[in-house]
A and B are shown apart, each in its own frame.
Chain A
Amino acid sequence: MTVQPASKSAAAIDRARDAGRSALVCYLPAGYPDVQATIDAGIAMAENGADLIEIGIPYSDPVMDGPVIQAATTEAIANGFRVESVFDVVAGITAATDVAVLVMTYWNPVVRMGVDEFSRRLVEAGGAGLITPDLIPDEASEWFAASDKYGLDRVFLVAPSSTPERLAMTVKASRGFVYAVSIMGVTGTRQAVSSSAERLVADTHAAGAERVCVGLGVSNASHVREIAAYADGVIVGTALVAAIRDGGVPAVADLTRDLSTGLIREEA
């Protein structure tokens, strides 16, 4: 991974590392139930232990998402969510906190706006970069150019099925951190964290990644504790979406605080 001091995500992860713990990465989709609620929830996550925040763009065909996130993003679109509102969310959170804010998006909305234009507006809003679940480095030449031009982080995904060659290539292409998908599947809460995650993180580190965060199926402090033992960051999504759905911003704040208790690495 190219190490650039300008990477906001890397800096946030390093701050956590310096404090002797993994970083907590919290996801919510923009515009669910409305744009202001996402800003309020983002600030609440930052104030209750999140080091990085991922704001998802609701998309009509979210093939990597399970039922909870699908339902939330479908509702956001039905409520009139427009893609450019994501910049308001990013700006709203970065203005009030010092967390790194990334946008997680399927690729077509970025293509439609124009990769350069999207990147320019993301930087203007204070965003750290993009997480791209359906964009692989092989197809990302336009994104390489724009992310270099604007100094944005490029967070690509690696999976238990990734070959050593693809791990090496993806690590090299990424900036900020590498997103390790803990299991072969879509987003959603699960009983246990897959054993494949630890091996994938080790392989990704061995391939040269300095920062690897684990997501998919992480939903409680116990999961966080398990992953924090070997990963640089722990990503939680579906559980937070369920929290905002059922209890609004206060529930998001409570869950984030609880999740953060799992971050401290117990000394062996």
Chain B
Amino acid sequence: MVDAPSENADNNAADAFLQGGSLKHAPGPYFGGYGGRWMPESLIAALDELEDTFEKAKADPEFLAQLSDLNKNYSGRPSLLTEAKRFSEHAGGARIFLKREDLNHTGSHKINNVLGQALLAKRMGKTRVIAETGAGQHGVASATAAALLGLECVVYMGAEDCRRQALNVARMQLLGATVVPVVNGSQTLKDAINDALRDWVSNVDNTHYLLGTAAGAHPFPAMVRFFHEVIGEEARAQILEQTGKLPDAVCACIGGGSNAIGIFHGFLDDPSVKIYGFEAGGDGVETGRHAATITLGKPGVLHGARSYLMQDDDGQTIESHSISAGLDYPGVGPEHAYLADIGRVSYEPITDSEAMDAFKLLCRTEGIIPAIESSHALAGAIKVGKRLTEGSADPSETVVIVNLSGRGDKDVETAAEWFDMLDEEGKVKGTNLSTRKPKGPSDRAEPEAVPTTAAPATSAADNNEDQN
């Protein structure tokens, strides 16, 4: 709402940056003109309860100790900061460092947020958590935290995403979660969020909605950022230790924007550090088939927050497109919308093709298979590295950090298809190995928790079996 922010501008930490203050601890509910609570009244009491629980926990040494213990002894934090020397040769010679969130337990940054929120769920006496997932990483992380803390877990996942990320569906089921394929709308992340919200409004007494990104209604954007701030804090200390100075630039990929806001947090108040967010450009922003929300979207309200939004002239949400399920979202976290407007962070689109080139390059030069989401940040870092070193006598003076938000194990099939490594039956060319159906007791009944409609991935595999 246009006039809401002015009422809140005085206590908005983000605004203070413009007068030389701090951006990194913006508390919400508003980030400039973005954020807020565009939500049904039925859910306001639950949001109030969550906000209250979060604020108290944040100030409770016992909670912080519990979280820190889980981060260290369960997730494996701090995550490494790895210099990518051979990869750097392709980025104008700038020194590229990778913040290795891919090495966390469950394979991405998502674990940081779910452990925090699952602890809050326990504090609120909730026995059940629900989550949405795009690539499946947040669903896997949620199922993991739920198993660890003894909570029931239901994950909503677009049917199209279930197909793209069948391995993660199985992973969630192994962890004891129920996966509900969502067949509404575009069958991707935004529709999974819609169904999760419908579940939440119906079961709010015993259920916490474990939202996976720094978007949605207050307190989610500020709270999810808080749980990911550890990424930026570690990265800042690590780069100072390894290079003796702050980086010239920090790069991250943006879907909803949680990994990005986590690493940005460490550098927002360092004016010398350029910050870049890379959105999914899909087939190219000129084709209309993309998820470049900030680059081409317009302000609107969706899923509880005012932010940039891919929408048509009627305010209907436009379906986004990206090779990466985790970036395939037509909205973006409100803090990013604000950081874009004030010019603190530059947001640029990266096409599927650019991301996949960077994916392959990292595999070949560093022996690291990145998530396709994170590959957008890698592709962006190549551009930024070239840009910042142009005309430089010693390009190695330029230091760029990339948030490697996840590992690419889940993306092997997508990558194999992209690089034309599969034959018509989905087998790796020249072999008898199928990417779609690992060898195993295929005639065994499905696990009980799987709804019968959860079958897109399974039926694809069954078709393969028939052809064998």
Binding site for B on A (CB under 8 A): 59-64, 66, 70, 74, 77, 82-83, 107-113, 133-136, 138-142, 156-163, 166, 170, 181, 184-186
Contact = CB atoms under 8 A, between A and B. Distances in A.
Given A60-B317, A142-B2, A134 B38 contact: yes
B189 to A, nearest CB: 12
Contacts of B191: 61
B81 to A, nearest CB: 39
Interface in B185-225: 185, 190-191, 194, 197-198, 201-205
Grouping DSSP codes into helix (H, G, I), strand (E, B) and loop, the A interface class, with mixed when no group exceeds half, is loop
Contacts of B39: 134, 136
Nearest to B45: A161
Given A61-B194, A63-B201, A159-B41, 5 more contacts: A60-B317, A107-B38, A108-B309, A139-B4, A142-B3
A237 to B, nearest CB: 15
Contacts of B311: 108, 112
A158 B3 CA distance: 24
A109 B314 contact: yes
Contact of A112 (B3, B46, B315): B315
B314 A82 contact: yes
Contacts of A112: 298, 300, 311, 313-315
A200 to B, nearest CB: 11
A64 B299 CA distance: 22
Interface of B: 1-4, 36-46, 48, 184-185, 190-191, 194, 197-198, 201-205, 298-303, 309, 311, 313-317
Contacts of B184: 70, 74
A63 B45 CA distance: 17
Nearest to B299: A111
A15 to B, nearest CB: 28
B86 to A, nearest CB: 44
B301 A108 contact: yes
Nearest to B43: A161
A157 B202 contact: no
Most buried by A among B36, B202, B300, B315: B315
B301 A161 contact: no
B44 A136 contact: yes
Contact of B204 (A134, A157, A161): A161
A111 B315 CA distance: 8
Contacts of B313: 112
Contacts of B301: 107-108, 111, 134
A162 B205 contact: no
Contact of B316 (A109, A184, A185): A109
Nearest to A62: B194
Contact of A64 (B46, B201, B302): B201
A162 B40 CA distance: 11
A161 B415 CA distance: 47
B177 to A, nearest CB: 22
A77 B205 CA distance: 34
A181 B41 contact: yes
Contact of B40 (A59, A60, A64, A70): A64
Contacts of A60: 185, 316-317
Contacts of B201: 63-64, 184-186
Contacts of A159: 40-42, 45
Contacts of A61: 185, 190-191, 194, 302-303, 317
23 contacts: A61-B185, A61-B317, A63-B40, A70-B184, A108-B301, A108-B311, A108-B317, A109-B315, A111-B301, A112-B298, A134-B40, A136-B41, A139-B37, A139-B38, A141-B3, A142-B2, A157-B40, A161-B42, A161-B204, A162-B45, A163-B45, A166-B45, A184-B204
A185 B41 contact: no
Given A60-B317, A108-B302, A162-B45, A186 B4 contact: no
B44 A161 contact: yes
Contact of A133 (B1, B37, B40): B40
Contacts of A66: 198
A241 B242 CA distance: 64
Nearest to B185: A60
Contacts of B202: 184-186
A134 B41 CA distance: 7
